[in-house]
Structure 1
Amino acid sequence: LATTEIDISKVQPGQGIKTQWRKQPVFVRNLTPKEIAEADAVSLGDLRDPETLAQRTKPGHKNWLITLGVCTHLGCVPLGIGDGENKGPYGGYFCPCHGSMYDTAARIRQGPAPKNLMVPDYKFLSPTTVQIG
């Protein structure tokens, strides 16, 4: 498997970056305490694809959410990672193709997408470097 190393040292809380891994977009988001609290407050019963934020992040790094930037409906690239992009009503991501809406933990909340944005295999090599793959 190909791997990609990402420097996350400049990503401030509330910001995100888009990179690539295996020719697919990857979203790396540094969640704020408010975004973490919003994600943790959601009842799993309200989710189409029930997963906690803790299940989607690494222990000790709950603020770092890393997902593929590919809508699980038909593969469009959702908006929300870039400054000023539409994050949708749940504060996460909005897919402009067919209206799927994801929350701050990149979990599907509304629209046709059947699953949450996928979390790729990754590990922290240091506090500021992540290896995907």
Structure 2
Amino acid sequence: MAETTGTATPDMVADGGEDGVRRRDFINIAAVGAAGVGGVAVLLPLISQMAPSADVLAESSTEVDVSAIEPGQAIKAVFRKQPLFVKRLTPAEIEAANATPTGSLRDAESLADRTKAGHEDILVTMGVCTHLGCVPLGAAEGELKGEYGGYFCPCHGSHYDTAGRIRKGPAPTNLEVPEYEFLSDTVIQVG
């Protein structure tokens, strides 16, 4: 048996020896690290470009002051580039909406389903007909309100009641109620 000393033999030098293994490991680690940094450099702009822009974030919610709305009056606002109707219902309109049996409605929802507890007199709906996207009449003073005293779509004749529920015409569903909350008794935030 040959005795080995601490010196490298010609076979070890040809294979790269102990120093060759270390250099190879360093090169592999450096290559993987460079690939990782390159991958992050490519993916970061791709992922960040999918984030919403400042103008989209600004339109993602809308605050509306409801303090100036008189009973029976509605105002139009804009939410996500679409009309928004905010109406303060009169006691008679609330009574008429509550007197309508939900079973007789095409899209069965009660007034309580469409308003917030404690604020049953404030109805917030999107001002877009659910048939083909026209803007119904009835939010402004003097506009035709339809047969049920709510909203009327002049494009194809859909009639909505005071709670924004479809009662007659081709529209398949009620006017959409967007997500909203009361920030105070006089201000709502939609979106």
Partner of 1:7: 65
What is the number of residues matched between the two proteins?
Answer: 133
* Runs of 4+ residues over 4 Å off in structure 1: none
Gaps in structure 2 of 5+ consecutive residues = 1-56
Residue by residue over 1:73-114, the C-alpha shift from the partner in whole angstroms, topping out at 9 and shown as x without a partner, is 000000000001000010000000000000000000000000
1:110 matches 2:186: no
* 1:70 alignment counterpart: 128
Aligned residues with identical type, % of pairs: 65
Q: Which amino acid aligns with 2:65?
A: D
Normalising by structure 2, we get a TM-score of 0.69
TM-score, normalised by the number of residues in structure 1:
0.99
Higher relative contact order (CA 8 A, sep 6+): 1
Aligned to 1:130: 188
Q: Distance in 2 between matches of 1:4 and 1:15?
A: 20
Q: Which amino acid in structure 1 is aligned with residue 157 of structure 2?
A: G
Which ranges of structure 1 fall in alignment gaps of 5 or more residues?
none
Q: Which amino acid aligns with 1:94?
A: F
The answer to whether structure 1 residue 119 and structure 2 residue 181 are counterparts is no
Work out whether 1:24 is the aligned partner of 2:82: yes
Higher helix share: 2
**Are residue 98 (structure 1) and residue 156 (structure 2) matched?**
yes
Letter in 1 for 2:89: L
Aligned CA-pair RMSD: 0.6
> Is structure 2 residue 100 aligned with structure 1 residue 34?
no
From the CA coordinates, give the structure whose radius of gyration is larger: 2
Aligned partner (choices 132, 137, 147) of residue 79 of structure 1 = 137
Cα offsets for 1:14-44 (capped at 9, x unmatched): 0010000000100000000000000000011
SS of 2:76 mapped into structure 1: strand
